[in-house]
Structure 1
Amino acid sequence: MKTTIGMILISLVAAGSAHAAGTTLNVGMGSADAGKLDPHVATTTPDKGLLHWMFNGLVRIKPGEASPTNIEPDIAESWTSSEDGLTWTFKLRQDVDCHGDYGSLDAEDVVFSLNRAANPDISAFAKDYAAFDSIEATGGHEVTIKLKNSIPSLLGLLVPYHGGNIVCKDAVEALGADFERTPIGTGPFMFAEYQPQQYVKLVANPDYFRGEPKVKEIFYRYIPSDASRDLAFQSGEIDMIYGKQDQTWVERISQVPGTKISVMTPGEVSVIHLNMTMPPLDDVKVRRAIAHAVNRDAMVEFKGPDVTLAAISPVPEGYLGYTADVPTYEYSIEKAKALLTEAGHPDGVTIKAIHTALPGMLSTMEALQALLREADINLEIETVEHATFHEQIRKDLSQVTHYAAARFPVADVYLSQFFHSDAIVGTPTAVANFSHCDVADAEISAARVETNAEKQLELWAEAQRKIMDQVCAVPIVQSLQLWAWKDTLDLGVDVKGSLNLSPPITEAAHFSE
């Protein structure tokens, strides 16, 4: 461990990341390396957080909040919608500049960005924009969006989260494939340097339309070891760290003098997706046996009651459309074994999972492995680097997929991406349906266009009931986001949550004297 932390400290100094007159922010992220830094492609938590500091959307959720009730203007200064909600017109600010020498941002850039976000050949989030009929520049700084049908939250698709990030057309076209490693946005911080498996360096955008940031540079360090990351924080070489999602981490780091800990919403829901096309998981009795073998109370205790909620439904608690009125499977080893016997497996079953080496997620999966073993369910885990994990599960290579995700907090997004047949991995319209679930397609599709709010809620509830009845997946826990930073760092906002799963580092962030 001494060698590891020593190497981290040496590399920090070598990178020139010592506190430069209180204007350099050192962040420790629990990942081995960057994934893809194109905001329309990036899907991992570490990448989404980093990109959050570089990009804007037409609208944004107020910094420090996560609820869609706190949407406010960003690049768009105002907007109007037609009475039927199918036509939206956005007036853009005229003082937004692209990073570097790529000029000012106008309606053409916004149209390019949203069309790119909706393009399945490019975007990981194209499915979200299926209801878009047209996106047009109706003025130099005016954009009009027309929808084929009403959707639960048009503004929710336009926040700088996933496809809502606005890119600069000239930069994307000039950089080509290099854009994945040289992201150009309009946000408070600009990409400066990437050192593989070490760090990404950002610098302040002097022309940011809300004012030049007080923090002048950020070193986003990749430190996958929880212990090494914690030691770097305790030594003062790291100002802000991504926390391990368990109670003991909170208790330990809170003892470090001058530390502020933030438990942020939305929580990432850990769900075990069961590939219903692969034996023995093609038998609902086996899937129900797995559900009975999961002790959620033990998992909450393991992860920490102050930072974890039990997950009941395939839609996370707190999302619009969530219901707890779903089939549940109480913890019972006896019932699990009986179901396996009925399914023709009296001696148990073996199931296999490809899994990320990310410590927080891996510890959850290892705890589940121990629980399942009690019911003669042998869970074999093949551990790979996080970016490789995402690549392989999207190629439909894993029988069991543990996915921890937060999405825009409306039931439609989660249901459509994880449980509609259009989203099945390995298909042309794939998103993240790792279980090949299709039992609630009718309800999910109908709810998406339902204009009566009560009927929409009931459709979402029925979809959740069907998914749980067939056990397409087993919800485990909802883990809130844990970060810590030195109390000399003032973020300028009260941090209650962040949709991008990282603290809001804006132009207002600064170090106190």
Structure 2
Amino acid sequence: MRKLLSVGFVIALILAIAISGCAGTNKTTEPSTPPSEGAKEETKKVESKPNVVIYGYVSEMTTLDPSTEFSNSIIILPNVYECLVKYTPEGLKPWLATSWESNEDGTEWIFHLRKGVKFHSGNELTAEDVKWSIERTVRMGLGASFIWDPVESIEVVDDYTIKFKLKYPANLPLIASSSYGAYIMDSKLLSKIGDDETIADYLNKGHDAGSGPYTIEKYEPKTEVVLKKFDEYWGGWSDDQFDIAIIKIVPDASLREQMVASGEIHIARDLPLDDIPKLQQDPNVVVKQKSSYQELYAMLNTRKPPLDNKLVRQALSYAVPYEDIVKYVLHDYGKAAKGPIPPGMLGYFEDLKTYTYDPEKAKELLEQAGYPNGGFKLVLTYTNGDEAEAKVAEILKAEWGKLGIDVEIRPMNWEQQWALAKSDPMKAQDVFIFYWWPTYPTPYDFLFSMFHSEDEINFNLAYYSNPEFDELIDKAVALEGTNIEKAKDLYRKAEEILMEDAPAIFLYSPDDVYVIHKSVKGFEANPGYPQVVFFYDLRAT
């Protein structure tokens, strides 16, 4: 939304410079007399100050509607919109809400809103916007709307106070920090646009209704997204922050690597891992490595022989060289899994008893199960084009082949893999490899989504059912907001059941590895917002 033609011209000039691979400059006045050498140096520093930052990203964007977005556009939304609460690994932090409290059993929560927050339209944030945004997300029933399932009603107490009454106890502040489905929108603007579908069309044309530090200046989902700083952002601005942030779609990993090393882009991830040591020696970039909340699973079809036999599933779990996979596939940029929850999250237990590589134990279990020489075939699917999944599949084929098990590997595009998995379990794949990361950082998102009993299969691609397990995790999530130690105890018991029943093989949790050009500082990955770069936190060096 350009206020003046002159402002638009300056932005167009900045973008032209950025796209050509050069940083923008601040205009300086030509001195009337020749400057000294020191003055020349000072002028040079001012002129070279960047005001554009570019994030090279692997995939095209999907949707700009905060109520329904559940994919790649997550990297846009937290820069344009804000949640009530912000998740960090160190704890929940105020965002649009400055504080919150609950009743004793966690069935009623009150949030106190930050005063003086403006949306990009100029409208002021009030509790009505919070109520409208969440109710619209729930009403549409798409994307991550399920996170609000505990909410029975939302009451506006006053302009800056909002009350949630829940159907059952829940950790609502954690839910309100979700990277999907929890963003607050400008209801005064959007309610004038039309119905939910009309609003979605409006937003997906490149408009926004957020209160975040950046507005959407240009939206070309297959090539690039340009964000412009919002001058009236409640957090304020300093001179070394970036006026323009660009998300440039660069699918080729090698090209992204070249671009970040040269400074044509400033931030990149998902680069060839075997090149990271070389980049660590490059004085033009900084490599940042941090544990993610992502984990790779091999889901085992518990309905279909021979994997309906727990002993066979346990045997396969012992016949996996976990540490070798981390070295070969991840080049040690990650960690072998310790159960279903990634490190750093609630529900991760370093001392949880898990499977280790023990081929002799695997042979013993197969013999007990009635398959002393293997003698059966398994169909394993993974997402075509995922190099890491392909390498894991080949390792499993080789290791299980040593037990006399024939593994047919089927690389499939996601839609085909998904369709096969959602068909009749007796006709579906035997082993399904895929990644999971949380909608918001709770172990319940992992344990419920993939292992809770389901009448209609969604993500439980092991087709697993254990009522005792279901009861434990359902009780645990209700205690997260009021008795965290009891919740941990229940989650641990549930995970011990999973390890015994072995409905899946828990392979590894990859690290987030970002490469940052030396001209940018202040970046820190936040595993609660996967692949997001918070541009407001960055500074020019």
Pick the TM interval, shorter chain: 0.7 to 0.9
Pick from 213, 223, 226: which aligns with 2:250?
223
* Cα distance, 1:241 vs structure 2: 0.3
* Cα distance, 1:86 vs structure 2: 2.3
Distance in 2, Cα, partners of 1:193 & 1:370: 49
Distance in 1, Cα, partners of 2:416 & 2:61: 13
Contact 1:36–1:181 (Cα < 8 Å) also in 2: no
Calculate the TM-score normalised by the size of structure 1: 0.82
SS across alignment from 2:146: helix
Closer, same or farther: CA 446–70 of 1 in aligned 2, 3 Å: closer
* Superposed CA offset, 1:135-158 (max 9, x none): 22222232111122322x321111
**Is 1:412 matched with 2:412?**
no
Pick from 114, 130, 136: which aligns with 1:110?
130
* Cα distance, 1:34 vs structure 2: 2.0
Closer, same or farther: CA 452–234 of 1 in aligned 2, 3 Å: closer
Instruction: Kindly report which structure 2 residues correspond to 1:22-171, keeping only aligned pairs within 5 A, or say none.
Output: 22-31=50-59, 33-44=60-71, 46-61=72-87, 66-67=88-89, 69-99=90-120, 101=121, 103-119=123-139, 121-151=140-170, 153-169=171-187, 170-171=189-190
Segments of structure 1 that go 5 or more residues without pairing to the other structure are 1-10
Which amino acid is 2:477 matched to? R
Pick from 316, 321, 346: which aligns with 1:290?
316
Calculate the TM-score normalised by the size of structure 2: 0.78
Distance in 2, Cα, partners of 1:282 & 1:446: 27
Corresponding residue for residue 7 of structure 1: none
Pick from 477, 483, 488: which aligns with 1:448?
477
Distance in 1, Cα, partners of 2:230 & 2:417: 31
Closer, same or farther: CA 179–284 of 1 in aligned 2, 3 Å: farther
Pick from 494, 499, 504: which aligns with 1:473?
504
Contact 1:327–1:469 (Cα < 8 Å) also in 2: no
Name the Cα RMSD after superposition: 3.3
Pick from 207, 211, 217: which aligns with 1:192?
217
Distance in 2, Cα, partners of 1:370 & 1:210: 55
The number of residue pairs the alignment matches comes to 482
Q: Which moved more, 1:75-84 or 1:389-398?
A: 389-398
* Cα distance, 1:475 vs structure 2: 0.7
Distance in 2, Cα, partners of 1:463 & 1:96: 43
Corresponding residue for residue 45 of structure 2: none
SS across alignment from 1:421: coil
SS across alignment from 2:23: coil
Pick from 222, 226, 230: which aligns with 1:201?
226
* Cα distance, 1:319 vs structure 2: 2.2
Contact 1:285–1:343 (Cα < 8 Å) also in 2: no
Q: Which has the higher contact order (CA 8 A, sep 6+)?
A: 1
Contact 1:271–1:475 (Cα < 8 Å) also in 2: yes
Distance in 2, Cα, partners of 1:349 & 1:181: 49
* Cα distance, 1:216 vs structure 2: 2.2
* Cα distance, 1:310 vs structure 2: 1.2
Q: Percent identity?
A: 23
Closer, same or farther: CA 382–360 of 1 in aligned 2, 3 Å: closer
Corresponding residue for residue 355 of structure 1: 383
Distance in 2, Cα, partners of 1:281 & 1:222: 41
Q: Which moved more, 1:320-329 or 1:408-417?
A: 320-329
Contact 2:381–2:417 (Cα < 8 Å) also in 1: no
Which amino acid is 1:271 matched to? Y
* Superposed CA offset, 1:313-335 (max 9, x none): 11223322333565533324455
Structure with max Cα Rg: 2
Segments of structure 2 that go 5 or more residues without pairing to the other structure are 1-14, 26-49
